[in-house]
Structure 1
């Protein structure tokens, strides 16, 4: 992963993206003109993406540089359409892309049936609460522990958007929801994240979804 930053100065993201791309292309040079070599990135067949969750700088820079844009729907679901619109408006064709290319992320839990999937997804709200309250991504509790937790109205409101836009259910249920997400956003790709208490349940979720998706 390549990151960009500029200390305490006002960031010039456009220049920083140009610098990153020069490393990949093998054209980077020091201020005195000496060529820089950055391996293994130099000359590699890499896809450089910009990740964003709003209609701000990330969307505009991704479009302006003609790069693919990954939209974090699972982080800020309410802002995804504005972010995509901003990217499309800013898009300029490049050597990498002749047209906009968008990936949209989604939190997904698939079970053999809707009820089982909802049980597996029960700890998600408490995990989101930990992040949004500043405590960080705490270890996942069990579904039973999640069900036993007493929630305040304020806590429920804090995580309501994330819980409502998590895709949970049987393979057919979730595949249908994801098809709608792709259709509404115009996504070229979907990026799926699944978090469950047990790793085996996570793997089973991916397997069930893949079988349903590619069987359609």
Structure 2
């Protein structure tokens, strides 16, 4: 195994537990995976659901303080909910104490929610193409936004994060403002120079994240930035996403060639049967998201009621593309994903009901992947 592995932490709240405990679990996991040789520890931004990483930059600072060498970052800051100045000042503040360790990942938020809500939600349709297996990697039909059963709560959540009357800002413009604030070249529309303190000159690495071949992938390419393709969120579009990034790439001073990270959702246990049991409520979690209720507390596989056939159909793409099994099983599938996409690095997320099982998942994978060798290189 030659490419590095990193961790994406969703900071999930388990059924019967609390957000406070989820935060403690995230910090504990970060400490462990640093010792196991993972390269980065990224935290996702979600709001009004049962995950504890909503104040992402705050949690990043806590993780940075609790670790020593691992890179820590966002996957990703949702720019529809933040101004460029607030993003740069937040990360600049963390960088002031932990310089050279931050990854500032940027993503598009739900700018299209308003249009989707006003247009109405079409019923779930039969996919246009069947699930394929390409070089050992499952590529399901793309999940379309209209397949989500109810977007009312999603739209309300998005609106609650904005000032009244605020309008969505152009994503590429926000990215350019962040770059300008970081390098000290920012000027307002009235040609007034402003400087972010702290923030300007911060030694942070800028990343873009995307789940399609659209604006994010192409912008990352044009700007010569590293890019993360979200196979774990949108497995049906990963190949077009990767192609769009590479096809639009313009070499930059820091990145003369594309640098691609691809994500995967994994559950590793000592054997395949144990891993399948631990992962058996993953579909419940995805269903809670796609039904419109938002990510629910992660259910206990020992007590959860199985999904109905109709519920399973709504989450089939995500279940079949989760990497579940013993260490050799998962490592083999991850290797296939890396080879198919040409990823320079893989980032894995592992969600289980018990924190101990999540630790085991990352520990077993690190050992099987040979991370100590990767880290030394």
Q: CA deviation at 1:145?
A: 2.3
- The residue aligned with 2:215 is 57
The answer to whether 1:4 aligns with 2:4 is: no
Q: CA deviation at 1:31?
A: 3.6
Q: CA deviation at 1:32?
A: 4.1
- The residue aligned with 1:182 is 338
Say how many residue pairs are matched. 213
Report SS of the residue matched to 1:44. coil
| Alignment partners' CA distance in 2, 1:3 and 1:12 | 13
TM-score (norm 2): 0.54
- Match among 279, 288, 306 for residue 121 of structure 1: 279
- Match among 272, 287, 310 for residue 154 of structure 1: 310
The answer to whether 1:66 aligns with 2:228 is: no
**Pairs within 5 Å for 1:1-216:** 2-5=77-80, 7-8=166-167, 11-146=169-304, 148-149=305-306, 151-214=307-370
| Alignment partners' CA distance in 2, 1:118 and 1:41 | 45
Report SS of the residue matched to 1:47. strand
Q: CA deviation at 1:46?
A: 1.2
| Alignment partners' CA distance in 1, 2:217 and 2:233 | 15
What do residues 104-133 of structure 1 show as CA deviations (whole Å, max 9, x unaligned)?
111000001111111111110000000011
What do residues 183-206 of structure 1 show as CA deviations (whole Å, max 9, x unaligned)?
000101111100000111101111
Unaligned runs of 5+ in 2: 1-73, 81-110, 112-165
Q: Is the 8 A contact 1:102 1:188 kept in 2?
A: yes
| Alignment partners' CA distance in 2, 1:78 and 1:40 | 40
| Alignment partners' CA distance in 2, 1:25 and 1:211 | 40
Q: CA deviation at 1:102?
A: 0.7
| Alignment partners' CA distance in 2, 1:40 and 1:210 | 36
Report SS of the residue matched to 2:216. helix
Unaligned runs of 5+ in 1: none
What do residues 1-47 of structure 1 show as CA deviations (whole Å, max 9, x unaligned)?
554349536x5333322111111112212344443222443212211
Report SS of the residue matched to 1:14. helix
Q: Is the 8 A contact 1:171 1:208 kept in 2?
A: yes
* Larger relative contact order, structure 1 or 2 (CA cutoff 8 Å, min sep 6): 2
